[in-house]
Structure 1
Amino acid sequence: MIGCRPANTPIEQNHGLQESVGEVYCDRERYLKLVGKLIYLSLTRPDIAYAMHVVSQFMHSPKIPHMKAVERILRYLKTCPGKGILLRKNNRIEIEAYTDADWAGSVGDRKSTSG
């Protein structure tokens, strides 16, 4: 994907990815490897954490739209290489976080995806 067109966001707004939509993606191992590597990367790249949460829900049976979402994350990463959180060893640890519940954001079962 070196010559791909970059994306401005890691996932489409109102993506509507569901388990039952689309044809089965034939190369399941490739999907699993990519998602696994991106999950590891999301530790230092919180900007892709939500997108990784969404695509990792479909690891047991990935479909073509799910793979396209993973490819979009890769296209997004192309726009900002070298950015992320640098984890250094020091004596002081301080974490600030923000979260927001999405109230029935999962289209498939109408449950909250973030709690």
Structure 2
Amino acid sequence: MELGGGGRRGAGDRGRRQLQSVVRLGSYLAGGFLLLSAASSVAVRSLRALSDANQRKFATPCGACEGKGTYPCRLCRGSATIDWSPGHDPVFINPCLCPTCDGTRVQRCLNCLGKGYA
């Protein structure tokens, strides 16, 4: 004969063990998912690098940028600044950083997206 509610204690232990097994299963599944996603991202990156290398080797150079991937900025004409006046006032003309090239003086080719080949 048990005193002090010994039967309740076993039910609580059983619930705790079930919860631990569920948590353990969830952690195994989450770890497996993370491992698979990391492995697949590495595989995709390596295949993309191989594909780009093959395209670069056998593709024809871009006609718009002559294979460079960039060309001089058309807005600032390679000066990195533009003349800006507020309110179309010719008296106050301020040099400002070119918004198209951000001062780099070159634009990425829109024909080949900066790759240099079509």
Higher strand share: 2
TM-score (norm 2): 0.23
TM-score (norm 1): 0.23
The answer to which structure, 1 or 2, has the higher relative contact order (CA under 8 A, 6+ apart) is 1
Bigger radius of gyration: 2
